[in-house]
Amino acid sequence: MTVVFSDIQAAQARIAGQVDRTPVRHSRRLSQLTGAEVWVKYDNLHFTGSFKERGALNRLLSLTPDERRRGVVAASAGNHAQALAYHGGRLGIPVTIVMPEGTPFTKIDGTRSHGATVVIEGADFTGSTAEAHRLRDEKGYVFISAFDDEGIVTGQGVCAIEFLEDAPDLDALIIPIGGGGLIAGCAIAAKAMKPGIEIYGVEAAMYPSFTAKRRGETPKCGGATIAEGIAIKAVGDIPFALADPLVDDVMVCDEPDFEKAVAFFATLEKTVAEGAGAGGLAALLRYPERFRGRKVGIVLCGGNIDARMLAVVLNREMVRERRLIVYRILSDDRPGILSAMAAVIGDVGGNIIDVVHNRLALDVPAKGAEFDIMVETRDSAHADEIGQALRDKGYALRMG
């Protein structure tokens, strides 16, 4: 079991012209924010929205004529499914994807739209994988893992070749880790092209499978994370064996880190990132002292985020920055009181978004009411200014 740089170079030639070469850009805004010199590779701009296309296509192109006729099967709830379905459809290879119960309809429809057969089976990725293996044995399909496959790892490594061809002066690459296919391929390619470059992985705190395996521990994984693309309970054996000697360190990030990174990509870079896709920036924001003054490359490896979830993340970031804040005011319940409060807020430039009355709270006087007034502000200082203006007018703030 091995993947070497010449394999990845061959994969680059094999898939050339069939997969977009995504842009690499220096980000002045992210550089100013973090103190590092930051380059971003926009793999969210692939046709199916993620880095998975290189590995999927490379693996499909390695099939024998008999294997192409029989077709392939995979377990995936997201990006691997769509990449395999799209390129399988292009090449005339039958693709069957097993997705877990509860997979969002948008992902199911997206996969079907590329011509794949979708089977819903299993409570989670493990259950779907078992069903995919059963179909492989029953139907004669070729099983293609999303990450635990040498052909997949080889294809994913093309990402690093492109990155270093476009930004050869990088000191470090930061790459999210789920099953490990991307970081394994990229580490092999990057270290071959530039032996002194450092490779950093990023894992979600709820799913630290690579970190645990490095320590010889059983990973404790579980929970709902916005970085579902890297929410893998067990890193692949093949990518782990290839990446472990080459990865300099793995950083663990919490949910607010991923949310902030998604929001910053949208507001600063004007691009859409899914939670896992924003992992590189999440780590850079969480551990800026490790990269200050260095030339750092981050792979924005996917942009397939549900529109509703993106809206939630952007609003939550506004709350963190106190640009969206709720003032809870205890006051008399009398005619005109709400308009008076609104006048105070409006006079200092606050924009009222929502108002909720609570007359039934037992810690509120019977003739009083509790008002939750949601206000859009310019920044934290402006939020304090509005709160002080309300206090100066005699309103009792319970929080602000």
pLDDT on residue 400: 45
**With left for phi above 0 and alpha for psi between -120 and 50, is residue 152 left, alpha or beta?**
alpha
pLDDT on residue 151: 97
pLDDT on residue 298: 98
pLDDT on residue 348: 95
Tokens of 117: 């057969």
pLDDT on residue 362: 58
pLDDT on residue 361: 66
pLDDT on residue 101: 86
**Class (C level, CATH) for 52-150:** alpha beta
Query: Distance (Å, rounded) from C-alpha 143 to C-alpha 95?
Result: 10
| Residue among 150, 249, 237 at smallest CA distance from 199 | 249
pLDDT on residue 293: 97
Query: Distance (Å, rounded) from C-alpha 273 to C-alpha 292?
Result: 23
Segments making up each domain of the chain, as ranges: 5-49+153-316, 52-150, 324-399
Global model pTM greater than 0.75: yes
Is there a common fold for 52-150 and 324-399?
Answer: no
| 10-residue stretch averages of pLDDT, the chain, 400 residues long | 93 97 98 97 96 98 97 92 96 95 81 94 87 96 96 98 98 96 98 98 96 92 89 93 97 96 96 96 97 98 92 93 92 86 94 85 70 94 95 81
**Class (C level, CATH) for 5-49+153-316:** alpha beta
| Residue among 142, 157, 151 at smallest CA distance from 51 | 157
pLDDT on residue 108: 87
Contact 370, 361 (CB under 8 A): yes
Query: Distance (Å, rounded) from C-alpha 391 to C-alpha 387?
Result: 6
**Class (C level, CATH) for 324-399:** alpha beta
Residue whose pair of structure tokens reads 């205890």 in the numeric block = 330
